Structure 1
Amino acid sequence: MAHIDFNSDLGESFGLYSVGSDAEILPHITSANIACGFHAGDAPTMRKTVARAKALGVEVGAHPGLPDLQGFGRREMKLSPDEAYEFVVYQIGALLGFTSAAGISLNHVKPHGALYNMAAVDATLADAICQAVKDVDASLVLFGLANSELTRAGEALGLKVAHEVFADRSYQADGTLTRRGTPGAMIDDPVIATEQILTMLSEGKVRSQRGTWVPVRPDTVCIHGDQPGAPAFAKAIRQALEKEGVTVKAPLLNHA
């Protein structure tokens, strides 16, 4: 139970629309996954979020999603491996411009929403995403669902991989996340969330909604920045982990 990274999906405001509480969440996390304009986010938001993360010493990663602003990238789309590759390269490049301008390194890439969940079970899609990451910068860390097709593909290509677990989501017996909209998909009690994380850290497993145990590898734990009460949720979890002696720090820094 030595250490774990604490990440959140941020930078998801767009134009006149404000999503999440990034400024209040950033002090409690160690890695920020910043939307790159396809599912959410825009140029001013990317620039502002990168600057805030830099000021707090939070590692910055690209959070590429499907081109679906209206559905927030959470609706599945049928796409070819070439399309997946191109979408990911394009979005990493967008954020890479802002990290370069800010004088910091881009640390990692974590697919968003439906793209993330599809790649967790689709080996062909996972391969395309990981090849895109490698071709942009082979030193980037890939964040993917623990023990999924996405992490397998990243490891097969020689990428640095952080297996991701979730504080605010429940699991199914096959290790996938419970679909949003399903009763019990989201965990909004920080006590329950912390217990779930500590069990994953100490025992390498998580209890599914069916009551079965699913093996996981907890390198980094996520909370969603757009859920109600996210700042307080993040603070409570960070404090609880540190109280239990868990060191919260970013993993596998690509510039280390």
Structure 2
Amino acid sequence: MKLNCDMGESYGAWEMGADQDVMPWVNQANIACGFHAGDPDVMVQTVQLAKKYNVQIGAHPSYNDKQGFGRRSIAHCYSQITPLVCYQVGALNALCSLHGKPLEYVKPHGALYNDMMADINIFTAIIDALVSFEIPLALMILARPDLQEYQKIAEQAGIKLIFEAFADRAYDESGYLVARSQPGAVLNHADLIKKQVKQLIDRQTVSTLSGNEIKLKVDSICVHGDNSAGILLIQELQLLLTDFRLRHK
């Protein structure tokens, strides 16, 4: 199990996140590709930082929505989703090649991620984009109990799936993330986040808002480090994972 974090979300003179402080403590960096955040210079800086700390790089494409930070659904024909993703992933892939660091996977951002998990046709359109690359890229998706159809489509296309859980988000009974607009959707207390991650590590389950446990197959846990408290928490979570690996060698 690994930790992943959204990075490279600064733009021009505007800065977001604490990538320099977070990168040493994560295993996978989801780098914004310019549509919800980021620009070529920021992308390069983030690629170089990931290379320095031997962190896997993933592309973080979104709808073309800087003003809404990629959190608003924008209606597309399914045939438009494939080039939307190819365009952004291709740009980051070229910059990774420029600096001798491979691009290994794709994690859609925000509304595109949520839409992919709600509409299997959008998922399929994204799969079609990843197949087009010389070396097919893995796809990070939300770990849920009911993903058999997703797995079947990915397997037929030869695309590996990376199943993701969230350290700081609440879950509903179906294994979806509770909408940010709902009370309790975001876990703001460090103890609650650590409890959720420890449960994922030890029992491979997550508790829903109503208190039920659901089983999840999880390869990577998404963390956020936008402030000093968040960075300290990420360090603690990585130590939890390291301890688990040592105990299960």
TM-score by length of 1: 0.89
SS at match of 1:162: strand
SS at match of 2:132: helix
Query: What residue is the counterpart of 2:163 in the other structure?
Result: 163
One-letter amino acid of the counterpart of residue 200, structure 1: L
CA distance in 2: counterparts of 1:154 and 1:220, whole angstroms: 18
CA distance in 2: counterparts of 1:201 and 1:232, whole angstroms: 19
Q: Is 1:91 aligned to residue 82 of structure 2?
A: no
Once the two structures are superposed, what CA deviation does each residue of 1:33-61 show, in whole Å capped at 9, x if it has no partner? 00000011101100000001101111111
SS at match of 1:17: coil
Query: What residue is the counterpart of 1:47 in the other structure?
Result: 44
Q: 1:227 to 1:123 in 2, by over 3 A?
A: farther
Query: What residue is the counterpart of 1:62 in the other structure?
Result: 59
SS at match of 1:32: strand
- How many angstroms does 1:203 deviate by? 2.5
Query: What residue is the counterpart of 1:33 in the other structure?
Result: 30
Contact 1:193 1:237 in 2 (8 A): no
Q: Is 1:132 aligned to residue 123 of structure 2?
A: no
Two-structure CA RMSD over aligned residues (Å): 1.8
Q: Is 1:215 aligned to residue 215 of structure 2?
A: yes
Q: 1:135 to 1:199 in 2, by over 3 A?
A: same
Q: 1:208 to 1:60 in 2, by over 3 A?
A: same
- How many angstroms does 1:225 deviate by? 4.0
Contact 2:198 2:240 in 1 (8 A): no
Please, which moves more after superposition, 43-52 or 209-218?
209-218
Q: 1:246 to 1:192 in 2, by over 3 A?
A: farther
Q: 1:231 to 1:162 in 2, by over 3 A?
A: same
One-letter amino acid of the counterpart of residue 246, structure 1: R
CA distance in 2: counterparts of 1:156 and 1:173, whole angstroms: 29
Q: What is the correspondence of 1:111-130 to structure 2 with a 5 Å cutoff?
A: 111-130=108-127
CA distance in 2: counterparts of 1:16 and 1:207, whole angstroms: 40
Once the two structures are superposed, what CA deviation does each residue of 1:204-253 show, in whole Å capped at 9, x if it has no partner? 3211112222221111111134477432221121123334x236xxxxxx
Q: 1:210 to 1:155 in 2, by over 3 A?
A: farther
Q: Is 1:246 aligned to residue 206 of structure 2?
A: no
CA distance in 2: counterparts of 1:188 and 1:13, whole angstroms: 23
- Count of aligned pairs: 243
Contact 1:175 1:214 in 2 (8 A): yes
SS at match of 2:16: coil
Contact 1:179 1:185 in 2 (8 A): yes
Query: What residue is the counterpart of 1:176 in the other structure?
Result: 176
- How many angstroms does 1:92 deviate by? 0.5
CA distance in 2: counterparts of 1:120 and 1:181, whole angstroms: 18
Structure 1: 5+ residue runs without aligned partners? 248-256
SS at match of 1:62: strand
Please, which moves more after superposition, 225-234 or 79-88?
225-234
CA distance in 2: counterparts of 1:152 and 1:231, whole angstroms: 37
CA distance in 2: counterparts of 1:141 and 1:91, whole angstroms: 15
SS at match of 1:181: coil
Q: Is 1:76 aligned to residue 76 of structure 2?
A: no
Q: 1:46 to 1:26 in 2, by over 3 A?
A: same
One-letter amino acid of the counterpart of residue 210, structure 1: S
- How many angstroms does 1:158 deviate by? 2.2
- How many angstroms does 1:150 deviate by? 5.4
SS at match of 2:177: coil
One-letter amino acid of the counterpart of residue 115, structure 2: M
Please, which moves more after superposition, 122-131 or 197-206?
197-206
Structure 2: 5+ residue runs without aligned partners? none
Query: What residue is the counterpart of 2:234 in the other structure?
Result: 234
